[in-house]
Amino acid sequence: MKVNGKPVSAQIEARTLLVTLIRENLRLTGTHVGCDTAQCGACTVLMNGRAIKSCSIVAMQAEGADILTIEGVARPDGTLHPMQQAFKENHGLQCGFCTPGMVMNALDFAKSHPDPSEHDVRESLEGNLCRCTGYHNIVKSIMAGAKAMGGKI
């Protein structure tokens, strides 16, 4: 499979979750684990362009897939992606732990919602928990980020 555009391979136990492969084998620790019931969304990555919870599939299911993690979102020169920039400008993060999952989920959402309403954004966050921000500024960030993206990642 490819992760952030680079081909990767690893010898793993059959029960290894995708998130474990990403964090432990590939040492891409920006993808986080916040729960054990697929509720919090901190582990969200894009698989073939769709947001998925990487704690909810075993790594072997992703064989051959194209995975994008938070480490692959900024431009190669380090410039923040418009969605990341929107989170920064709107103070859409505090402790930062849920943030990668929020950004990854928002990227998928914004592809099909270039100018979302507050209500749409709140609905899109059903699967992502944040304990710091009260969601207020996350919602603002995603509305601004989606506009800036214009429907394209």
Partner 1 sequence: MNAPLIGARIQRKEDYRFLTGTAQYTDDVALPGQAYAVFVRSPHAHASIRSISLDKAKKAPGVVGAFTGADLAAAKVGGLPCGWLITDVNGQPMKEPPHPPLAQGKVRHVGDHVAVVIAETPEQARDAAEMVEVDYQVLPAVTDAAKARAKGAPALHDVAPDNTCYIWALGDKSAVDGAFAKAAHVTKLEFVNNRLVPNAIEPRAANALHSRADGAYTLYVANQNPHVERLLMTAFVLGLPENKVRVVAPDVGGGFGSKIYLYAEDVVVTWAAKQLNRPVKWTADRSEAFLSDAHGRDHVTTAELALDRDGKFLAMRVKTTANLGAYLSTFASCVPTILYATLLAGQYTTPLIYCEVTAVFTNTTPVDAYRGAGRPEATYVVERLVETAAREMKIDPAEIRRRNFIRQFPYQTPVALQYDTGNYEATLSAALELGDVKNFRSRKEESAKRGKLRGIGYSCYIEACGIAPSAVAGSLGARAGLFEAGEIRVHPTGTVTVFTGSHAHGQGHETTFAQVVADRLGLSIEQVDIVHGDTSKILFGMGTYGSRSIAVGGTAIVKALDKIIAKGKKIAAHLMEAAEADIEYDKGMFKVAGTDKKKAFGEVAFAAYVPHNYPLDKLEPGLNENAFYDPSNFTFPAGSYVCEVEVDKETGATQIVRFTAVDDFGKVINPMIVEGQVHGGLAQGIGQALTEACRYDDSGQLVTGSFVDYSIPRAGDVPYFHIDTRETPCTHNPLGVKGCGEAGAIGAPPAVINAITDAIGVRDLAMPATAQTVWRAMQKRI
Residue with tokens 């509305």: 143
Residue 132: HSE in the Cβ half-sphere, 13 Å Cα cutoff: 12
Q: Which of 3, 47, 53, 87 binds partner 1 (CB under 8 A)?
A: 87
Nearest to 43 by CA among 101, 94, 109, 108: 101
Strands across the sheet containing 50-53? 6-7, 2-3, 66-68, 44-47, 50-53
Output 34 or 66, the one with its CB closest to partner 1: 34
- Asked if 107 touches partner 1 (CB under 8 A), the answer is no
Minimum CB separation of residue 36 from partner 1 in Å reads: 5
The mark string for 25-64 relative to partner 1 (x by CB under 8 A, - otherwise) is: --xxxxxxxxxxx-xx-x----------------------
Please pick, from the candidates 48, 131, 150, 151, the single residue that binds partner 1 as defined by CB under 8 A.
131
The only residue of 18, 21, 47, 100 in contact with partner 1, by rule CB under 8 A: 100
Q: Are the C-beta atoms of 93 and 87 separated by less than 8 Å?
A: yes
Task: State whether the Cα torsion 127-128-134-140 is positive or negative.
Answer: negative
Going from the C-alpha of 28 to that of each of 12, 18, 25, 122, the distances in angstroms are 16, 12, 8, 28
Q: Which is nearer to partner 1, 64 or 96 (CB)?
A: 96
Q: Which residues bind partner 1 (CB under 8 A)?
A: 13, 15, 23, 27-37, 39-40, 42, 69-71, 73-74, 78, 80, 84, 87-89, 91, 93-100, 103, 118, 121-123, 125-126, 128-139
